[in-house]
């Protein structure tokens, strides 16, 4: 598993931007930037939709006021699902990023196999990344939502 002080590996992501699929790389999203990244097991799932994403939506202005260039929500879903989920949650200040095949989640060791639920998914976590280097990392225990929330990130900034 990636640790504080580790550099994010090179990966390709998907986002829906102006109706078109774009495929930014790790460098595009994280180089020369201070980024809050949080990951969820799945878009539209109960805890993710009722608490995790809404917390970041509510605190986006305060988080960005701490010098954060971008807030990224990542899930092992496709870009269309991430875009629809973001719109349904009024997540205008959050970049909704798809790790479509789970390769990034696997590269950083924060993946889990949910079997018939959905296969490879991301573990729930949050991190602060500065110029591609992890400065804070909050990984949830299975079935928990206690340390990867927006309030914790805001305190860490």
CA-to-CA distance for 65 and 59, rounded, in angstroms? 10
Q: In the structure encoding, which two tokens stand for residue 155, read together?
A: 């305190």
Q: Parallel, antiparallel, or unpaired for β 125-130 and 133-139?
A: antiparallel
Q: Is 48 a catalytic residue?
A: yes
Q: Parallel, antiparallel, or unpaired for β 70-75 and 95-98?
A: parallel
- Identify the DSSP state of 117: G
Strands (E), the chain: 15-17, 20-22, 34-40, 70-75, 95-98, 111-113, 120-122, 125-130, 133-139
- Identify the DSSP state of 76: S
User: Which one is catalytic: 48, 70, 96, 153?
Assistant: 48
Q: Is 135 in a helix, a strand, or coil?
A: strand
The residues assigned a catalytic role are 48
């Amino acid at each position: 598993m990636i640790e504080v002080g580790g550099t994010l590996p090179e990966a390709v992501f998907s986002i829906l931007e102006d109706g078109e699929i774009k495929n930014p790389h790790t460098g595009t999203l994280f180089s020369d930037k201070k980024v809050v990244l949080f990951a969820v097991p799945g878009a539209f799932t109960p805890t993710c939709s009722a608490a995790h994403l809404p917390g970041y939506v509510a605190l986006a202005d305060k988080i960005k006021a701490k010098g954060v260039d971008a807030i990224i929500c990542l899930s092992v879903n496709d870009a269309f699902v991430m875009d629809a989920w973001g719109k349904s949650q009024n997540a205008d200040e959050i970049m909704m990023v798809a790790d479509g095949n789970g390769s990034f989640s696997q590269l950083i060791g924060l993946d889990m196999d949910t079997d018939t639920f959905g296969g490879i998914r991301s573990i729930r976590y949050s991190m602060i990344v500065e110029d591609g280097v992890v400065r804070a990392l909050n990984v949830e225990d299975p079935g928990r939502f206690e340390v990867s929330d927006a309030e914790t990130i805001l305190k860490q900034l």
